[in-house]
Amino acid sequence: MSLINDRLDFSTVADVFLIHGSMQSPAFQDGRLAGALALNDLSAEAWLDELCATFGIEQPRDPESAEVLLGWRRQALDALAAADLNYEPLLPDDLFSLAERAQGLKDWTLGFLELVQTVDSETRNAWSANLREALDDLQTLASIEVDLDDSSENENDLFALTEHARMAAMLLYTEQHPGQPQVEEANAPTQ
């Protein structure tokens, strides 16, 4: 398994998709994963079932693939619940062109919003103004132009947009899971 800094990377997950005959980018499913973990505490079994349905199979073709797919869920859940707020969407990295990375962010956003849009209005109205604004901004992000030239300005813009998506996911998680993570107490002195 290819891990960078103990993190499962985009290419490793994409390889598992290819092994299962899927040409879909994992970014879309990662957006759905972040939304599902934030909203519903998606179980490992339900996650594997969802991916298998996406691949059109009953189960992963080998234990190594299942390990990557389940590790992906665990990594996302651990990061969303961590006090250090280190969640990162699973997106194409610097080995990909800026246009491919922008497409990955757009795909992630579409997957995330697909789940968020299923939330009933009562729950949605209980969300903070900051969360509702962040989700509205993601609606705009879902229609970004992805045919970007490689330039430092576009690189900086894409970084800022990715950061916005990341923060929206963490904000949704923290509002749906009061007290988790306990960011206020993370740096507090112990008694």
Burial class (CB in 10 A: 0-12, 13-18, 19+), 119: middle
Here the tokens at position 46 are: 């339900």
pLDDT greater than 50 at residue 183 = no
C-alpha angle 155-158-162 in degrees, rounded to nearest 5: 140
Give the model's pLDDT for residue 135: 95
State residue 145's pLDDT score: 87
For residues 38 and 172, is the Cβ–Cβ distance under 8 A? yes
Task: Give the Cα separation of 31 and 89 in Å (integer).
Answer: 7
Task: Report the candidate in 117, 124, 121, 109 with the shortest Cα–Cα distance to residue 169.
Answer: 109
The verdict on pTM exceeding 0.95 is no
Question: Which tops the pLDDT comparison, 113 or 190?
Answer: 113
